[in-house]
A = this chain, B = another copy of it.
Amino acid sequence: MAYTLWYWAEIQGRGEFVRLPMEAAGIAYVDAARDRGSDALIADMKTHPTRRPFAPPYLDTGGQVIAQVANILQWLGAHHDIAPDDEAGRTWLNEVQLTVTDFVAEVHQVHHPVGVGAYYEDQKAEAARISTEFREERMPKFLGWFSDAVEGDWLLGDRWSYGDTSIFQLVEGLRYMFPRRMKTLEADHPRLVAVRDRVAALPGIAAYLKSDRRIAFNQDGIFRHYPELDAE
C-alpha cells in the first residue's frame, strides 16, 4: 500500500526532503495535499485526536502517522534500502540529517528574523542584517562541515542514502536563494557539488525533476530568492 504524505501543496519546503528519497528509491506514496489542496491538509491535521503532528510534513504509513523530517527519514531508512544497516551508520546519518534541520532553520531565520509568522516585507531591514552573517559565516561553516562528511562518491561511501538527497536539496535551494554567494562557495566544495550531480543523475530523481511533481522554487518556500540579500 502506498504511503500518504501530507505537506503544503504550493511549495517544496521541508516536505521536499521526504519526497526526494522516496522518488529516488521508487517508494510508492500519495502526495495528498497536491491532489486535494492545502485546505485538505489543514482539515486532516485536526483529525488526529492523539499523537498529532505539530506541523507538516507528516507521513501516514498505514500503521502510524509520523512527523518531523528527520524522524520520517529515519523510519523510511529502517524499512527501505535508503540507509545503512549498522547502528553506527544509522546514528551518524541521523546526525547529518539533524544538522540539515539546523541549517534549514537558519535559512528560514534569514527571511523571518523578527517574526516567524509575519511577512518578509515587514522585516526587510532585519533580514538584510542577518543575511550578512549568514552568507559570510554560517554558509561556509555548514557547507564546510557537510563537505568533510562526504566519505566517497556518496556521503556514506559507496551507496546513496537519504543524506545524499538532503545534500542535493540544500545545494539546489541555496543556488536558488543566493546564486551569487553559492557561485563563490561552490568552488571550495567540489565534493558537495559532486554529490549533488550524482543525486540528480539517479534515474528516479532525473524522472522526478522533469515531472510536474517537482514544484518550482518560489517565494513562499524555505529557500527564497531576495536579490537584495545576496552578494558574492
Of B70, B71, B113, B151, the residue contacting A113 (CB under 8 A) is B113
Cβ distance A139 to chain B, nearest Cβ, rounded Å: 12
Q: How many residues of A sit at the interface, in one of the four size bands?
A: 35 or more
Asked if residues A51 and B102 are in contact (CB atoms below 8 Å), the reply is no
A129 lies within 8 A of chain B by Cβ: yes
Instruction: Knowing A109-B109, A148-B52 are in contact, say whether A95-B118 is a contact too (CB < 8 A).
Output: no
A35 lies within 8 A of chain B by Cβ: no
Cβ distance A100 to chain B, nearest Cβ, rounded Å: 10
Of A113, A133, A137, which is in contact with the most chain B CB atoms at under 10 Å from its CB? A113
Contact flags A88-130 to B (C-beta < 8 A → 1, else 0):
1001101100110110011001000111111000000010011
Interface residues of A (CB under 8 A from B): 50-54, 63-64, 66-68, 70-71, 74-75, 78, 87-88, 91-92, 94-95, 98-99, 101-102, 105-106, 109, 113-118, 126, 129-130, 133, 137-138, 142, 145, 148-149, 151
